[in-house]
Structure 1
Amino acid sequence: MPQVNTAKPRREDGSPSNWDHYPDLLIPRQVPAKSRQWCVRRAEDFLKDLKPASLSVPTADQITDCLGRTSSRLDLVEWQVSRTVDALRLLLVDLSHVPAGKGVDWDYWWNG
């Protein structure tokens, strides 16, 4: 599998990677235009934090740990934490269909 690299949104053969489709996924999910860049940045932060070789590598525990760190950040208000949860769920469940994403209690983190 190709490495996850947010700075290189295309595979070696020139075809779009899943990452390339992430911003487009936000539109039909009714993420407001002003919030889309926030979602992209939070997904990038997640990828930089874990540095997975591919999106299918993170475990449910790693995803949950990341969500726990996010929810405990004092510099984020409630809507920012909820939007981060949305951003990661969209990336891991809806776009990439990461098996571990099904093992995360997304509602728990969203309702925080």
Structure 2
Amino acid sequence: MNALGWGRLGVYRSVFVAANLRQTNDHGPKGVVQVPTGPLPDWVLQQRRRVGDRVRDLREQRGLSQERLAELTGLSRHTVYRIELAQYGTSIDHLALIARALRVEIGSLFS
């Protein structure tokens, strides 16, 4: 459960409902961000790859295995693996944990 008392299913359900609302009502209120319903644009995936590559490079520079980085962050090794291969759209929370474990500022994961 998160701070709002929602489990994962609640968040997914909210995104699903928002996506379906967009499909049925493309003329929503001004200023409301619409949830994309199709595949992510290539530029988003490229940014995800850059972050994954940077995480892997920093991890290797520090002589850490994926398993050790996972231990330091509290994430699973599989999650670290998926972030490094850009198979996973990770959260800012995960990136903050990774940056701290690698002893870098979170912004350096994006450069």
Same fold (TM over 0.5): no
Higher relative contact order (CA 8 A, sep 6+): 1
Structure number with larger C-alpha Rg: 2
Please report the TM-score for the alignment, with normalisation by the length of structure 2: 0.29
